[in-house]
Amino acid sequence: MEKQRLSELPDELVLKILSSLPMFEETLATRLISKRWKGPWKLAPNAIFDDDDKKRKSFETFMSFVYGSLLSNDARILERLEFKLSQNYAASDISFWVQIAVNRSVRELRIDLFGKTLELPSCLSTCRTLKEVTLHELCIKVVPPWFRLPSLKTLHLLSVTFSGGNSVSSLLETCPVLECLVVEQTKDDNNVMISNIDVPTLRNLSIRSLSKGKRKKSTYVEGSNGFVIKAPSLTDLNFEDTLSNFVMFESMPEVIKANIQVICDQSDHFIGSLTSIQHLSLCSLTSKTPYPACTVFSSLKHLELCTCSAGWANLLACILNAAPALRSLKLKSKHSANYSDPMNLWKEPTDVPDFLSKHLEILEWRQYEGTEQERNVAEYILSNASSLKMATFSTRCRNKNHRMLRKLKPMRRVSKTCQLVFD
């Protein structure tokens, strides 16, 4: 009789009843829903539930599809589960769905809420199979002190905001074995400033804190660091900050590859902690040396320097003197220059660095414009790099016979085997 009365209720009410069932009643819920909806409920190893899908014509139809799929008797192991939820759903619904995924040994979970608030499902604290979580366009108001992600290795926070005294660091404290962290925010996000990151197990870190407007240079203020990154096990760093959110890197002796883009004058210890760096891509709107004067990057073999700032040439000269093993150098303007400092003319070093005369093999210069300063730098490198094998130049117009490129041909090349290429 109970099943008959349940079958007479509206779909929306039936779904609410099922979502409120205790988790140990999942078998009962499966039987009930299999009687109610006869659709082919078979959950694939990778399941995506999108309520904006044209095939789901109503709220009730979408809900029935989610419940029917997740409660299917055929679905045992769930590799990846993704929700794209533009409509409003009760926290109990989302928690129920996630609980079923946890029961089915889910490994990857992604939740998109289009700006709405997420109540962190408590069942995740006991999930030992979950390795990767992606949260997109949502707000987290509460990170309970008991909440944990015990086996999580990878966390993506994409346009995720925090309130109620919580922050990125509040969530990181719940991840005891985290190895990869990706944080992306824009100036339009509320509470955009990133807090301290202190994760001893972290190996890969990517932070993109970007404004949607033009890059504007800002001045570093001593003692006004927005946040500190403390990750002694880090090996790969991608850091892009155009919001003047000052940063301080603590000791990172394991980092071998880094892409760093900042707009503010940094302290003289900014990249000094990257003592084992091998690949460095750097964009800074300052001509100041962002590391102590005695620093030596003995392992640095590949350097890419952005030429969008007024003082890029002198910054290059400083780094060249600190990188005795450099083998390849790439110069490229990644951004439209928007700074007020006057151009700092190239000051040719009095002594030729050892790497330039012995080790540099590859020079690649993109967006070469043929200014007086660029010609002076090019001439200095070509006339001193005795081991240079290839020097490639290209302009924005992509004209291989452009007049500014033709002026490079007569420049003295100390390396007899250097091939000059116009790309």
Q: CA 315, CA 289: separation in Å to the nearest integer?
A: 6
**Tell me: the pLDDT tens digits for 210-223?**
766 556 555 545 54
Q: Are 326 and 357 in contact (CB under 8 A)?
A: no
Phi, psi of 204, deg, nearest 5: -130, 130
Which of 41-50, 129-138, 287-296 is predicted with the least confidence, judged by mean pLDDT?
Answer: 41-50
Show me where the domains of the chain are located: 187-360
Which of 35-49, 50-64, 254-268, 372-386 is predicted with the least confidence, judged by mean pLDDT?
Answer: 35-49
Give the pLDDT of residue 290. Answer: 77
C-alpha R_g of the chain: 28
**Tell me: the pLDDT tens digits for 300-323?**
999 999 988 888 888 888 888 889
Distance (Å) of CA 136 to CA 62, 80, 94, 95, 124: 21, 16, 15, 17, 17
Q: How many CA within 13 A on the CB side of residue 145? A: 0
Give the pLDDT of residue 259. Answer: 95
Higher pLDDT, 338 or 349: 349
Instruction: State the amino acid at position 187 in one-letter form.
Output: K
**Chain-wide mean pLDDT for the chain?**
81
Q: CA 191, CA 301: separation in Å to the nearest integer?
A: 38
Closest listed residue to residue 70, CA positions, set 42, 94, 46: 42
What size, in residues, is the chain? 423
Higher pLDDT, 248 or 156: 156
Residue with tokens 């085997």: 417
Q: CA 422, CA 395: separation in Å to the nearest integer?
A: 9
